[in-house]
Structure 1
């Protein structure tokens, strides 16, 4: 139970914000403590620094013999009285030298050993300590330590000054800092807990709704209770579920279409094979019906190939091998392959290409996939254009894009059909009882190929007047001649 509580999202949010606030308040408290400590000790630090300079001036005189040890002791004690504290001259063994204070000849307190070591290393500094040299003395002491030389030997000078009033003032200031911060932290903690609960509530609802959707219940929705980012997330979740419903419907329709498309040729094949096996069809007619079988097998092969092609493109498995492509040249090659089919149906072809003197139209495309797009669109134009009609292929550049227009004078499409031509297995001839050898996947593949090469495709059509497809692709700046 405790582990589950700890893993709760809103508890994680609450604890994260709370720890952040605690760290902030601790940092703030440390800053103000350091600030006021430095402020309150400032005068005493300046006093100790100046007195250290006076003591340092006396030491060379002892070595030169200008003053005696007694005079040194007298001078040091005068300086100690001026700061109402004590001055120690400590040798390399930690013993207070004669001539510094009433602790002459004794070892410094253990609490000051770290400062003594730092001084011997050549460092100096201040420290406010709570230690006492006299059991009857009150807490609070400011110490300044610094290295020096006496009679050619390294020593450490300690200047100790009582700082009881400063310690008491700092204690009062610290209480005035800590208490408000604690109350502020308590208030912020309560606010954060409420906010984290409010933030995590919709997420918990989304979690339950997601589990219901995963279980197959597509009626689950998340209530939208705000217009902020959480509300937007709830809207996005509901939109996602709506899309899943549409995709599920499309999947069911796709399976039904695939089953239908596969069942028809398989039924025909099975019927013909049984008829020939049972001798219902005369042997002299076998050749004719075997051709029908071959046609149905080709239909199945085209359907399977188109399905695999579409699956690769939609799943991102199809890799476009793009390079700068001269569109005039590639379009010309594709038209040459289809010219015979147009001539057989007595369809006129009009090519509108840029003049030789104009700038060549070059785009970054996959040559094979681009040819596949053109062939699909042109085969459709040939199929739905009656004898005597015209197919126009136009290439031009507009701004930074190449534009290819394929226009026919065929039977055209109604407005409601234009919205469905990109759907899988949709065939325009279903509504007009015309025959087609297509699988209903050609235009779906075309749209995915165009989008995959950063292009766009649009279609306009008028029933009885023809259809026009417009392709656009970004122009390429490079070209190897």
Structure 2
């Protein structure tokens, strides 16, 4: 349980921010402590440094005999009174040679041994601390130590000044720094905890929703509680669920359509076969009904081929073998193939191509382009009554080749235009059997056009006809 709690995202987020704030507050506390310590001890340090210079000036006079030991003692005591402290002259054995009368001839306190050793090594410095001398309570002192020489022998000079009032003032300042920082840290910790929960809450909800979605519950949604990045993520998640619902509905509809399209010809085939086996159909009628069975088999074959074709295109298995092709020639060849069936249906085919000297070239897969044109022309032919006109126009517009296929057929309502690209959608359900269409032609066309970097658009008016407009980028290859 503890491990799971620690692995929680919002706990990690909270602890990371909290650790950062603690380090920041510690750094801030150390900075202000050092700042005020230097500020409060600054005057004392300057005083001890100047008095050390006065004591140092007496050492050569003693060695030269200019002043006596008694005069040295008197001078040092005057300096000690001037700083309201103590001045010790300590030999190499740690004995106080001359200074305040109460310490003269004694050994320095053990607490000061590290300072004394540093002084013998030629080092100097300031140290603030509490020391216990004899049976008296501990004293707060600021000590300055530095090396010197007297009568040719190394000594260490100690200047001690009481800093009890400075220590008390510094302690008060420290409390004034620490207490607000502690309360600020607690307040920041509470705010960080709330923010972490607020940030991680939607993510946890999305995690639960994703698990429910994986279990098949498409009704789950994540509440959007903000307009920031987390809110945008929640909106994107909900949009993804909506898309999945649409895809699932489309999948169910697709399966239902496939089942229906397969069931009809299979039912017809089985009925005729059973009828012929049971001798319900006279033998002299076999040829007629076998032709019907052949038509149904061809219908099944077209449906299966269209489904396989669409699956290859959508899955990217079908690789387009593009090359620069002359659209003038490609369109002319397609129209030559379509002209006989259109004449048989008594349709007028108008051909509007660029003049012979103007060549329009595009980077296309020629076989797929022919498939697109045939699908669109068959579609126009099926929904245009006898005596109607189908117009095919090719022209150059800027950097694009434009192909327009317009018929004078039955047309479509505006709401139908949004569904013609759907799989198995048929504008005229009552005429589906008559036309023999699978309802996949325009779906395949749209995917083929997109796969070759083209665009397709459609406009239509009910009772007046339909127009498809194809656009492909012109080839960069020149003659």
Q: Does 1:308 align with 2:312?
A: yes
Q: TM-score, normalised by structure 1?
A: 0.68
Q: Does 1:37 align with 2:32?
A: no
The aligned counterpart of 1:468 is 468
Q: TM-score, normalised by structure 2?
A: 0.68
How far, CA to CA, are the matches of 1:352 and 1:151 in structure 2?
A: 120
* Larger-gyration structure (1/2): 2
CA contact (8 A) 1:218 1:241 kept: yes
Deviation at 1:334, TM superposition (A): 4.3
How far, CA to CA, are the matches of 1:284 and 1:348 in structure 2?
A: 37
- Higher mean C-alpha displacement, 144-153 vs 19-28: 144-153
The aligned counterpart of 1:409 is 407
Q: Does 1:384 align with 2:365?
A: no
Aligned-residue Cα RMSD (Å) equals: 5.5
How far, CA to CA, are the matches of 2:152 and 2:430 in structure 1?
A: 115
Q: Does 1:256 align with 2:250?
A: no
How far, CA to CA, are the matches of 1:151 and 1:352 in structure 2?
A: 120
Deviation at 1:86, TM superposition (A): 4.6
How far, CA to CA, are the matches of 2:202 and 2:153 in structure 1?
A: 76
CA contact (8 A) 1:429 1:435 kept: no
Identify which of 333, 336, 342 aligns with 1:340: 336
The aligned counterpart of 1:130 is 129
Size of the aligned set, in residue pairs, is 453
Alignment of 1:189-208 (within 5 A): 189-194=189-194, 196=196, 205-208=205-208
How far, CA to CA, are the matches of 2:176 and 2:50 in structure 1?
A: 33
- Higher mean C-alpha displacement, 453-462 vs 409-418: 453-462
Unaligned runs of 5+ in 2: 344-348, 382-387
Deviation at 1:113, TM superposition (A): 4.2
Give secondary structure in 2 for the equivalent of 1:389. Answer: strand
Give secondary structure in 1 for the equivalent of 2:177. Answer: helix
Give secondary structure in 1 for the equivalent of 2:424. Answer: coil
How far, CA to CA, are the matches of 1:337 and 1:100 in structure 2?
A: 124
Deviations for 1:223-267, whole angstroms, at most 9, x for unmatched residues? 556666665555554444333322221121122233344555666
How far, CA to CA, are the matches of 1:158 and 1:451 in structure 2?
A: 92
How far, CA to CA, are the matches of 2:24 and 2:455 in structure 1?
A: 53
Cα 1:109–1:455 change in 2 (3 A) is farther
Alignment of 1:315-394 (within 5 A): 329=325, 331-332=327-328, 334-335=330-331, 338-344=334-340, 345=342, 347-351=349-353, 367-368=364-365, 374-386=369-381, 389-394=390-395
CA contact (8 A) 1:147 1:157 kept: yes
How far, CA to CA, are the matches of 1:115 and 1:2 in structure 2?
A: 54
Q: Does 1:241 align with 2:245?
A: no
Alignment of 1:11-30 (within 5 A): 11-30=11-30
Cα 1:205–1:134 change in 2 (3 A) is same
How far, CA to CA, are the matches of 1:479 and 1:123 in structure 2?
A: 86
